[in-house]
Amino acid sequence: MDTTDLVLAIAHHVLVFSLAGIIGAEFVLTRGDLAAATLKRLAGIDRHYGIIAVLIIVVGIGRVFYGLKGWEFYVYNWVFWAKMTAFAVVGLLSIIPTIRFVSWNRQASASPSFQVPAAELASVKSYIRAGAFIFLLIPVFAAAMARGYGY
């Protein structure tokens, strides 16, 4: 038994589930009216989104190089690359919401009467919804990969 592989797998899973929770929180918080307190909360949650995403990458790289399967399993596995592509697409889809959350939070801090423009909110909701949908592919690819598909 390799304790390093176990610890990396546990950390990776906890981080991925945490990211799923954050995506869910952003999805819920962008429904309805966005008061200044909600905007501040969204900006904070989104900051954690970025931190956790980076940690997932770092731990994932650790799994590739220090895990039991060896780097060859990952590098030559098309399911792994499909999973990585899904993760990258989710990350790219999160850029616009991040920019908007920061901008809205600044505007709300400067002007207590600030209201999030409806068109911008609708756009952000679309990005979050699309990211959540693509995110659902990640565990599908992970389950397939864990069972040896793609290698």
Domain count, the chain: 1
DSSP of 93-141: HTHHHHHHHHHHHHHHHH-TT----HHHHHHHHHHHHHHHHHHTHHHHH
Instruction: Summarize pLDDT for 61-115 with one digit per residue, the tens.
Output: 999 999 888 899 999 999 999 999 999 999 999 999 999 999 999 999 999 889 9
Mean pLDDT score of the chain:
94
Is 96 inside any structural domain?
yes
Distance CA 133, CA 42 (A): 20
Task: Give the model's confidence band at 33: pLDDT under 50 very low, under 70 low, under 90 confident, else very high.
Answer: confident
Q: Is the pLDDT of residue 25 over 90?
A: yes
Question: Would you state the pLDDT for residue 136?
Answer: 96
Burial class (CB in 10 A: 0-12, 13-18, 19+), 19: buried
Is 50 inside any structural domain?
yes
Is 39 inside any structural domain?
yes
**Stretch 10-37: mean pLDDT, rounded?**
93
Instruction: Summarize pLDDT for 118-150 with one digit per residue, the tens.
Output: 999 999 999 999 999 999 999 999 999 999 899
Distance CA 139, CA 91 (A): 16
Question: Would you state the pLDDT for residue 32?
Answer: 78
Instruction: Summarize pLDDT for 49-68 with one digit per residue, the tens.
Output: 999 999 999 999 999 999 88
Owning domain of residue 97: 3-146
Is 151 inside any structural domain?
no
Is 92 inside any structural domain?
yes
Distance CA 97, CA 146 (A): 32
Is 88 inside any structural domain?
yes
Q: Which residue has the tokens 């850029």?
A: 95
Q: Is the pLDDT of residue 1 over 70?
A: no
